[in-house]
Amino acid sequence: MDITPLLTTFGLIAMAELGDKTQLTVIALSAGYDRVKVFSAVVLAFALVTGLGVLVGEGLLQIIPENYIKIMAGLLFIVFGIRILMSKEESDDESSSQVNNVFVSTFSMITLAEMGDKTQLSAITLAAKYDSPYLVFIGAVLALALISLIGIIVGKKLCEIVPLPKIKLGAGALFILFGILFLAGL
């Protein structure tokens, strides 16, 4: 069995996502919220988006126009950023946070942000090139999970260095900035 598609996909996707908006999002979320929920939601979102890309390919973007996806992602990022900024800084209890379901919020943000993104388009292209959708899918999801895990570790270390209120301020501002960039089409 030739694992070239898996290794190639893993390498390309990992390099493309390192330092990307998604990894920065994971860092920000894991600094203030349950890391297991953030990681689980991110991996599930990546599996969904990559799976849809590999299986359905370019037809997916013809069903839902990319600009609609980007607008929804932009609005969701802005709303999430505002909710983080408005949440009580002194509260560490996730149930009292205004961001009530971190799993659902994270899953939604990552799914919308990655639809039509370079990662999904790369997976579509690689699946077509190698005619090996399963190996491309596995390589892409493993790469994205690894990059997300690195983001979780960085987020945890960030909590040890920077006070949580400052992290929330930075995360809220970062999400609003990403939202504006999505809406501006950048």
> What is the block-wise mean pLDDT of the chain (186 residues), using blocks of 10 residues?
90 85 84 88 93 73 70 80 71 47 88 81 81 90 94 86 82 84 78
Residues 6+ apart with CB under 8 A from 77: 109, 113, 175, 176, 178, 179, 182
DSSP state string for 112-129: HHHTTSHHHHHHHHHHHH
Amino acid letter, residue 162:
V
Q: Which of 46, 48, 22 lies closest to 150, judged by CA? A: 22
Predicted pLDDT of residue 32? 78
Predicted pLDDT of residue 7? 93
Distance CA 23, CA 106 (A): 12
Containing 42, the helix (H) or strand (E) segment is helix 35-56
- Residue pair 122/16 in contact by the 8 Å Cβ criterion: yes
Predicted pLDDT of residue 162? 82
- Residue pair 45/106 in contact by the 8 Å Cβ criterion: yes
Predicted pLDDT of residue 62? 65
Predicted pLDDT of residue 94? 45
Predicted pLDDT of residue 3? 92
Distance CA 95, CA 129 (A): 46
Predicted pLDDT of residue 148? 92
